[in-house]
Amino acid sequence: MICPSLSYFVVVYCSPLGEATKDDLKHFQGMLGLRDEDIQPIEEDVTDQFRQQAEVHQQNLIQYRQSFSQAVEQKFPLSESSRRQLRNLQQSLQLTDEEISQIEQPIIAQKEVEERQRREAERIRQEKEAERLQRQRILFLKLNLILLSLKL
């Protein structure tokens, strides 16, 4: 026969810890004849394991965010090679497409705003340069006219 504590551990570890599950576990605890003090170490162990997994997952999210930000800073839009590397990183960090989207979208949106601002600033700079060159040509033509009139 399987140890009741081991059976309880397996059920707790494999179950999402919602309120309905807690009621089910309490019922299962009674069926196995386990006391609260018997199951407390099991629940603490499982809670610690979930907490550790959540911490590792949070670190993975941070690592992906940093890698994505660096890739975008190096080249925007991203090259196919960078996309492949990021996809491999996503898989190795066990992140979902939804998590990746939540990380990438704000960064991409900010980069697009920066790109638009950069292009607008460049357009304005080019317009000013064209105006300066036009004024310079006009001045040059005026000077030539003055020189021509002096020769006459």
Mean pLDDT, contiguous 10-residue spans, the chain (152 residues) = 61 61 80 88 85 94 98 96 98 98 97 96 98 96 90 78
Pick from 123, 111, 38: which is nearest to 76 by CA?
111
In contact, 73 and 80? CB cutoff 8 Å: no
Query: Encoding tokens for residue 150?
Result: 């002096």
Predicted local confidence at residue 7, as pLDDT: 62
Q: Where are the domains of the chain?
A: 58-151
Predicted local confidence at residue 94, as pLDDT: 97
Predicted local confidence at residue 136, as pLDDT: 97
